[in-house]
Amino acid sequence: LDVCPDAWYIKLANPVLAGTMYIGRKYAKLKFIGLCHGFGGVFHIAELLGLNRDRLEYQIPGVNHFIWLTRFRYEGRDAYPLLDEWIEKEAPKYWQQCEPSDDIGPKAVDLYKRFGVFPIGDTCTPGGGSWPWWYHVDDETERRWKEDPKGWWRWIFEPSREDRFMETLKVAEDPSAKVTNIFPAERSGESMIPIIESIACDMPRTFQVNIINGGDLVPGVPKDFEVEVPARVSKKGVFGIRADPLPKPLIQHILRDRVAPVEIEVEAYETGSGERLLELIMMDPWTRSEGQA
């Protein structure tokens, strides 16, 4: 804001939820958005259903790592019946060959049956904190739902990924090296470059973004809290689009499992309070004692 007030800050690093809320509140005049590619899980569903992603119409509101498919249309028609048919006829075969903690695994489908909208991205994978906890109370329960958070996270720490990281770091620090020698020059599906293009070249388009809930973009979420919603992006800026309402039980889960912990997390960060941090860990369903926390 002091050096380049017209610059855009596009946040990709986790935690997107807490970071967007903290930065969005503290620097209200900053041109700022958070991005997460989790919404792309809708394309995984489209792939399984044999649908062309370019003909999809979707809306996936919520807060980061807690987003739900409230609108799902294909060529103008409701596509949820297609998903229901796939779940009835094809899902059992898919679950036999998919990896544990899959974003369209038995747990995700069970949540869809409970709440009436499908969880997308890291809403119910270990990347989002393995929400909800009742599928993870013990090893037997996890096996029943084909969940394996430890195995899911193990890929992060595999030696091959460490080698890739060092290779990437080397290219980043060498001005003479070409990034495309490691990463082929093809479209990744990530949205940051198209968003930059829309802003810099004034090409109005709609993207999924993380911003403050001004204008009641997700009804039921506090208005100064972070939300993940569609937004119209152009040279004029980023303007959130008011989303379809989430089912009331999901708003209640957002308030308990996302809003309350993140408010304490941010307070612990702002004040440097170990006591607040301890309270945050004590809220976790897996915490069994203050000593453990």
Q: Which residues are annotated as catalytic? A: 37, 122
Number of CB atoms found within 10 A of residue 229's CB: 24
Q: CA 241 to CA 229: how far, in whole Å?
A: 7
Phi, psi values for residue 195, rounded to 5°: -65, -45
Q: If you write DSSP's letter for every residue of 42-101 in order, what string do you get? A: HHHHHHHHT--GGGEEEE--EETTEEEE-EEEETTEE-HHHHHHHHHHTHHHHHHHSPTT
Q: Is the peptide bond before 92 cis (omega within 30 degrees of 0)?
A: no
Tokens of 286: 């897996």
Q: CA 208 to CA 230: how far, in whole Å?
A: 4
Tell me the β-bridge partners of 8.
Answer: 31
Closest CA to 9 of 195, 172, 171: 195
Number of CB atoms found within 10 A of residue 77's CB: 10
Burial 196-209 (b: 16+ CB within 10 A, else e): eebbeeeeeeebbb
Say whether 32 sits in a helix, a strand or coil: strand
